[in-house]
């Protein structure tokens, strides 16, 4: 079982969060052979780099063994105790060396298709950052502040789709000017899910009612 799938750039592999939302690892499915490889636990929300070498993912330091993940079931899972939630962190796994490396505290990783930089959101100060993977001690660069919980960079990295509750704003990444806005209907009540088309000319927008 799994969720949040992400295709590799060559379309031959599918990375996904393996397990349940409270407890998951990052796995990769070989589409042709059907073989699944569990890369790391814990982790969720994998995203491939444009060159296919890296997978960025979110980890919150709640570690689960491979055996524990294998036996999880939506029918039988019951949280025994409330475990304190650690701050989310962005990590990467190198698909050539299988090295797993922490990048920073943050969430919602995404890749710039033009620059290859890794974008992420800091919940501490509501800021969108970008960082280069080389050198390893490269400092992050502020892209947009303040921002909503999950801003999305366009494929050409010219625009940011940012939303807070029902308001969606398209922001020029250089000037920080708002170039378009849209107000979502009253339902769904939850945060919007936004995704750019490959050519960056259109957006898909979805949502859900968390209380239902």
Quick check: 21 and 74 in contact, CB under 8 A?
no
pLDDT at position 129: 98
What is the value of pTM for the model shown?
0.85
E strand or H helix at 70: helix 66-70
Q: What are the C-alpha distances in Å from 45 to residues 21, 76, 111, 147, 151?
A: 10, 23, 13, 20, 15
Report the C-alpha gap between 177 and 68 in whole angstroms: 48
Report the C-alpha gap between 182 and 191 in whole angstroms: 14
Report the C-alpha gap between 176 and 106 in whole angstroms: 21
- The secondary structure of residue 68, as a DSSP letter, is H
pLDDT means per 10 residues, the chain with 212 residues, are 91 91 86 94 92 94 56 56 69 95 95 96 95 92 95 97 90 97 78 89 81 52
- The secondary structure of residue 150, as a DSSP letter, is S
Q: In sequence order, what are the residues at sequence separation of 6 or more whose Cβ sits closer than 8 angstroms to the Cβ of residue 169?
A: 161, 162, 163, 178, 180, 181
């Amino acid at each position: 079982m799994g969720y949040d799938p992400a295709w590799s750039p060559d379309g031959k592999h599918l990375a996904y969060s393996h397990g349940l939302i409270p407890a998951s690892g990052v796995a990769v499915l070989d589409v042709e052979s059907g073989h699944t490889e569990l890369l790391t636990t814990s982790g969720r929300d994998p995203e491939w780099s444009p060159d296919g070498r890296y997978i960025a993912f979110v980890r919150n330091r709640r570690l689960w063994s491979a055996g524990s993940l294998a036996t999880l079931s939506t029918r039988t899972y019951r949280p025994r105790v409330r475990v304190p939630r650690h701050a989310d962190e962005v990590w990467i796994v190198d698909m050539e060396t299988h090295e797993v490396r922490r990048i920073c505290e943050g969430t919602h990783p995404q890749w710039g298709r033009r620059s290859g930089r890794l974008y992420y959101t800091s919940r501490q100060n509501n800021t969108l950052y970008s960082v280069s993977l080389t050198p390893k001690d490269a400092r992050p660069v502020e892209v947009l502040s303040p921002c909503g919980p999950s801003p999305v960079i366009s494929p050409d990295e010219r625009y940011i789709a940012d939303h807070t509750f029902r308001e969606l704003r398209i922001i020029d990444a250089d000037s920080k000017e708002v170039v378009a806005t849209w107000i979502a209907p009253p339902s769904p009540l939850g945060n919007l899910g936004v995704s750019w088309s490959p050519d960056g000319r259109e957006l898909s927008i979805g949502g859900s009612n968390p209380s239902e």
